[in-house]
A and B are shown apart, each in its own frame.
Chain A
Amino acid sequence: MIDLLNALVALLNYVVIPATAYGAQLALGALGVTLVFGILRFSNFAHADVMAFGTMVVIGVTALFQSWGISFGILPTALLALPFGCLATIALVLGTDRVVYRFYRRVKAAPVMLMIVSIGVAFVMNGVVRMFVGTEDRTFSDGARFLISARDFKAATGLDEALSLKTTQAVTVVTAVIVVAALFWFLNRTRTGKSMRAYSDNEDLALLSGINPEHVVRVTWVIVAILATVAGTLYGLDKSFKPFTYFQILLPMFAAAIVGGFGSPLGAIVGGFTIAYAEILFTYAFKKVAGYVLPEALQPDGLAQLLSTDYKFAVSFAILVIVLLFRPNGLFGGKSA
């Protein structure tokens, strides 16, 4: 019985908690990608760098707040800096749209062309971010490090296995729930939100109904900027901030959006958690858990790990390929990618 509990705690600690936090971050990122695809009808490869830009601003404002002695109690100061990061990012994406994307919209460029344009935008943004903040790893979380620390948990329960819950993990999940709830309320209950869905659903009919496409596009960019900044900041708080890592999570974000069905917000969330759990389950060494639940004779010799953690991107890539082969419209039947 104790063994089972130990196994359960180990699973919670090493799989469920990290995967849920990572899944929430991916889901927020994938929501941004899927909204751009649904409304502007192209795959935005610059999304990860928009996230990096937003996070960079948040880091800057956080440092400023810290130098002024402002803090947020046990919560990270970065949460206070988040609105400023969002504003800066909104300005960035609206400016980019005005200078770059609007031209291609006017000439009715093919989605593939817009996708390539977004890769160019990604390179520029990436360069800007590295110029300002540098390329090295940065940690910017402060406040209490743990809500439940391993030592306290062991002392309280008397189990061999420890469970720890980082503040940033709890903050990630709570923030993601709030942001997603606000987004769905906006899309389903407000006039502007409904007009965005209508435009995404049937562009011609939306135009006939008098919906102003430029307004829809602007609102979309504002939402995407907020989602990207929140996702980037949460990811940076939970792990660390390094511009290049952000470019790398583009793949799992796209995989999440496509698994759920490109253009479907609900799908992006389900996809985010699917990818996160898959990545972590495939790269987790189950030896410890097996040690608790299996009898001596059946103990695995190795780590019982399917893939080395270095290969975690291969997991999202494999899922992406499988989904595209067998269910190209994704789980929630979005537009085909």
Chain B
Amino acid sequence: MSFLCATRMRGGYGGADILQGCDITVEKGEIAVIVGPNGAGKSTAMKAVFGMMSLREGSVVFDGEDITKLSPQDRVAKGMGFVPQTNNIFGTMSVEENLEMGGFLRRDDISVTIEQIYDLFPILREKRAQAAGELSGGQRQQVAVGRALMTQPKLLLLDEPTAGVSPIVMDELFDRIIEVARSGVSILMVEQNARQALEIADKGYVLVQGGNAYTDTGAALLANPEVRRTFLGG
């Protein structure tokens, strides 16, 4: 049994189903990436894993436990962290307060985790007292990831972490994400920058119309001529 096992997910936001029996699995410490054309249901699949959308069919098993019926908040308590694509920081609060709020549920000492996050994202230590909303796009994404890491999640869900940042910042963010994965946190991420994301992925999912079109290692998908021609622009 994989660490995260979402099987035969079917459902949508009322009306027609967006997910048509989609499967996602992630192993411990692995980076899994969901790519695919617009409207394929990439973000929807991730929201279903996190419980922000109720499934009509299928199940989500996390760390050996069926969590299909749990609310997102309860899934956070079980060890999932989620970084939304937009509005993912408290803009009027300082960087440090953002991290404190990330660890709101924890009753133990969170200062050690805050230090670890500052080690991971050194720029945040420098800007700890500054309002998060005043930072650059890349720095805000680091705050957002840092906030989600405060609960010490076992699985981190990232919804397009590099949306709207420059290519240099994107490379840096991916480097940090690899570092997070090396510390033992599994990562499931949805990405528009498919080629770069697959390069760092242990596993890639290509979704088309709410179903799995291709599933393989990141390198194999990059090498697959069919995938290259249809999704990666040659």
A204 touches B87 (CB 8 A): yes
B101 touches A206 (CB 8 A): yes
B87 touches A202 (CB 8 A): yes
Alpha-carbon gap, A211 to B92, bound state (A): 17
B91 touches A202 (CB 8 A): yes
Alpha-carbon gap, A202 to B133, bound state (A): 12
Please, which residues of chain B bring their CB within 8 A of the CB of A206?
90, 101
Alpha-carbon gap, A208 to B89, bound state (A): 11
Please, which residues of chain B bring their CB within 8 A of the CB of A201?
90-93
Q: Does A145 contact B (CB under 8 A)?
A: no
Alpha-carbon gap, A198 to B131, bound state (A): 12
Q: Does B105 contact A (CB under 8 A)?
A: yes
B73 touches A205 (CB 8 A): no
B93 touches A208 (CB 8 A): no
Alpha-carbon gap, A318 to B86, bound state (A): 38
Interface size of B by CB at 8 A reads 21
Q: Does A105 contact B (CB under 8 A)?
A: no
CB-based nearest A residue for B102: A209
Cross-chain contact of A210 among B89, B91, B104 (Cβ < 8 A): B104
Alpha-carbon gap, A14 to B229, bound state (A): 81
Please, which residues of chain B bring their CB within 8 A of the CB of A204?
84, 87
B93 touches A209 (CB 8 A): no
B77 touches A209 (CB 8 A): no
Q: Does A194 contact B (CB under 8 A)?
A: yes
Chain A CB within 10 Å, residue with most, of B82, B91, B92, B102:
B92
**Min CB–CB distance A295 → chain B (angstroms):** 52
A208 touches B90 (CB 8 A): no
Q: Does B88 contact A (CB under 8 A)?
A: yes
Cross-chain contact of A202 among B89, B102, B104, B105 (Cβ < 8 A): B89
Alpha-carbon gap, A208 to B104, bound state (A): 10
Q: Does B72 contact A (CB under 8 A)?
A: yes
Alpha-carbon gap, A194 to B96, bound state (A): 11
Please, which residues of chain A bring their CB within 8 A of the CB of B87?
202, 204-205
Q: Does B203 contact A (CB under 8 A)?
A: no
Cross-chain contact of B82 among A194, A197, A208, A211 (Cβ < 8 A): A208
**Min CB–CB distance A88 → chain B (angstroms):** 32
Q: Does A195 contact B (CB under 8 A)?
A: yes
Since A194-B93, A210-B151 are in contact, a sample of 14 more A-B pairs with Cβ atoms closer than 8 Å, ordered by chain A residue number, is A194-B100, A197-B93, A198-B93, A202-B91, A204-B84, A204-B87, A207-B72, A208-B72, A208-B76, A208-B82, A208-B84, A209-B105, A210-B73, A211-B101
State the A residues within 8 Å of B (CB).
191, 194-195, 197-198, 201-202, 204-211
The contact sample of 17 A-B pairs, CB cut-off 8 A, is A194-B97, A194-B101, A197-B90, A197-B93, A198-B97, A198-B104, A204-B84, A205-B84, A205-B88, A206-B90, A207-B72, A207-B73, A208-B82, A209-B104, A210-B76, A210-B77, A210-B104
State the B residues within 8 Å of A (CB).
72-73, 76-77, 82, 84, 87-93, 97, 100-102, 104-105, 147, 151
